[in-house]
Amino acid sequence: MSDYNRSFEAQEAFKAKRKPKGPIKFNISLNEEQKVAKAKILNDVVTILRGKAGSGKSLLAANVALDLLFNRDIEKIIITRPTVVAGQDIGFLPGDVNEKLAPFTAPVYENMHRLYNKEKIEKCIADGEIEIVPVSFMRGRNFTNCLVVVDEAQNLTDNQTELLLTRICSGSKMIFCGDGAQIDLRDKKTSGFDVICKHMKEVPGFNVITLEKNHRHPIVDDILEVYKSFRG
């Protein structure tokens, strides 16, 4: 069977799946700030979702992704994030690609499990409707009818952000979750996150959203202020 026929059959099978009769019921409700942000995300192609630690970026991205998937507005969720640790790529870690990436994508998966039935999420993973892809494997890929969630985007280089942004095809969206204050790269100037935040917001279909509310213990806000004060 040709690749075209496989693609056609996959699209027809996807279309045949019935949409749910009502809104998807999640275990955790979004606050007003997140609801406003979600409406903007659904209206745009690329969203930069930025905010301090604990602002609910990954939770919101997971909510949007599952909502689109379960409503059959997309065929697949693709999760990716930078995978360089202390100057080493994931090649030094044991296991296959999924096992290597598991520690990196755990926050997104944990949020999905918090939001919805864990067995349903695991079935979506097994069926290939939720896919983990390392950033280093993205060249040559095309994203059609899917939502790409890029977590910890502040640790992407300028070349990596360009690589991801130019993969978008019809019917797809992309969400970058990041915080410029949490860059782990050895040379922080190599991060491409601030570049896309500053220079891409005028591009039609591109949006930059900042979340302010803290979803963790109130002490987190005070801790962040202390670090901010002596770091300048």
Summarised one tens digit per residue, pLDDT across range 131-171 is: 888 887 788 888 999 999 998 899 898 899 999 999 999 99
Q: In what order do the strands lie in the sheet with 173-178?
A: 130-132, 76-80, 146-150, 173-178, 46-51, 206-211
Residue 7 lies in a domain: no
Residue 8 lies in a domain: no
Mean pLDDT of the chain, nearest integer: 83
Q: Quick one: pLDDT band at residue 100, thresholds 50, 70, 90? A: low
Residue 53 lies in a domain: yes
Identify the residue with better confidence: 7 or 120.
120
Residue 12 lies in a domain: no
Total of domains in the chain: 1
Domain extent, residue 160, equals 27-231
- Residue range 102-120: mean pLDDT, rounded: 85
Instruction: Give the separation between CA 13 and CA 132, rounded to whole angstroms.
Output: 22
Cβ burial of 175 (10 Å; 0-12, 13-18, 19+) is: buried
pLDDT at 10 over 90: no
Judge contact between 44 and 122, C-beta under 8 A. no
Residue 153 lies in a domain: yes
Residue 52 lies in a domain: yes
Q: Which amino acid is at 131?
A: E
Residue 17 lies in a domain: no
Instruction: Give the separation between CA 31 and CA 19, rounded to whole angstroms.
Output: 25
Q: Count Cα neighbours of 103 within 13 Å in the Cβ-side half-sphere.
A: 9
